Structure 1
Amino acid sequence: MPVTINFEETYPAINLKSDLSQMSFESPQKDGTIRLIIVRVDPHPDPLLPNVFNLGFGPSDKNGGFHDTMRLKHLDNNKVFSTVLFHGLNFLEENSQLVMGVDGSDDIRATLYHLMFKTNRNYLDEFFTPLGIDWYVRIYRNGKYDADAQGNYIAKPRSEPFDYQRSRHDLYRYYTFRLR
């Protein structure tokens, strides 16, 4: 399902917090219903990713949150993803020192984000500098892995410019972008 991003074609916000940490909009579905979509911007929980905020969204769970694993059949996927990314753009314009990230809750969604960045490269490059993040475990010269006191390996993020030649079979663990 290719997605075309266009910030001129977005759904209007229903509710918008003044700090831009949350907004909602209504998305018509193919079955004729309308679903309330919640968009939230939260600090990324990994302390090794300072100044990174996660852009999450999904249908309302009716408790102020959202379901990020529920599959919906939007009437206009382009408009849904354009609305979500446009909100991310607005948040970054007010918080230009921060980085925004999207994380697929499964491989299907991660593949969608990967292809969305690739197919919308020319358009998104006007607004964002995309980055891909992978995690790695450091191997010392003596062959031992970096581990905590309990012996658990310590994974650290490694950010790189988004590689547009990277295939959808070699996904990043996290997709980030900052203002251009």
Structure 2
Amino acid sequence: MQVTINFDDIYETESIEDGLTKVTFDAPQKDGSIMKLLVVLSKHSDPNLPNVFNMGFGPPDGAGGFKDNVRLWHQDLNKVFSTILFISLRFLNKYPGIAVGIDGSDDLRARFYHRAFKHNREYLKDYFMPMGVDWYVRIFRNGNYDQNPDGSYIDKPKPEPFNYNRENRDLYRYYVFLLNRNINL
């Protein structure tokens, strides 16, 4: 399944929080029902990613968050993901020093995001500068690993420009995009 992004074909959105950090829209489903989706942009918890806001989305959970593990059958998947990315584009335009990141909650979703970035490369290059992030554990010259006091390894993010030649089976751990400085909404 491939998604094609088009910012001229999106659903109407409603901002429910100042700053565009919580936005909702109605997404028609294949069974004829309407599913409200909530897009949340929140500061990433990793101090090594100081200017990254994590983007998550799904049906509202009734407590201010969303359910990201629900299987939905969208009538128009292209329009749903175009809307979600357009919300991110508006957010980045409002806060140009920030980046937005997205993490697939499982390999299937991460593979979907990876393929979406690759498939929409030409279209998105006018709006976003995509990055891929892998995590690494530093190994010292003496062969020891960087560890917490409890002995667990300290993993740190390693952002790099998105490698469009990277295979779909070699997923990034996290996908980040910044505003292309040439765009202004």
- Kindly state the Cα deviation for residue 164 of structure 1 after the two structures are TM-superposed: 0.1
- 1:41 is aligned to 41
Within a 5 Å distance, the mapping from 1:143-162 to structure 2 comes to 143-162=143-162
Deviates more, 1:11-20 or 1:41-50: 11-20
C-alpha separation in 2, matches of 1:63 and 1:138: 39
C-alpha separation in 1, matches of 2:141 and 2:19: 47
Within a 5 Å distance, the mapping from 1:136-175 to structure 2 comes to 136-175=136-175
C-alpha separation in 1, matches of 2:19 and 2:65: 17
- Kindly state the Cα deviation for residue 150 of structure 1 after the two structures are TM-superposed: 1.3
- 2:135 is aligned to 135
- Is 2:5 the counterpart of 1:5? yes
Deviations 1:26-67 (A, max 9, x none): 000001111000001000111111010011100122232210
Runs of 4+ in structure 1 off by over 2 angstroms are 14-18
Give the unaligned 5+ runs of structure 1: none
- 2:81 is aligned to 81
- 2:118 is aligned to 118
Among all aligned residue pairs of Structure 1 and Structure 2, give the percentage whose two residues are the same amino acid. Answer: 54
Instruction: Give the TM-score of the pair, scaled to structure 1.
Output: 0.98
Give the unaligned 5+ runs of structure 2: 181-185
- 2:176 is aligned to 176
- 1:69 is aligned to 69
- 2:183 is aligned to none
Q: What is the one-letter code of the residue matched to 2:149?
A: A
SS at match of 2:18: coil
**Alignment check: 8 A CA contact 1:10 1:79 kept:** yes
C-alpha separation in 2, matches of 1:78 and 1:16: 23
**Alignment check: 8 A CA contact 1:14 1:26 kept:** no
Deviates more, 1:126-135 or 1:14-23: 14-23
- 2:109 is aligned to 109
- 1:29 is aligned to 29
- Kindly state the Cα deviation for residue 69 of structure 1 after the two structures are TM-superposed: 1.1
Instruction: Give the TM-score of the pair, scaled to structure 2.
Output: 0.95
Q: What is the one-letter code of the residue matched to 2:75?
A: L
C-alpha separation in 2, matches of 1:63 and 1:6: 31
Deviations 1:141-176 (A, max 9, x none): 111111011111000000000000001100000000
Q: What is the one-letter code of the residue matched to 1:90?
A: R
Q: What is the one-letter code of the residue matched to 2:133?
A: I
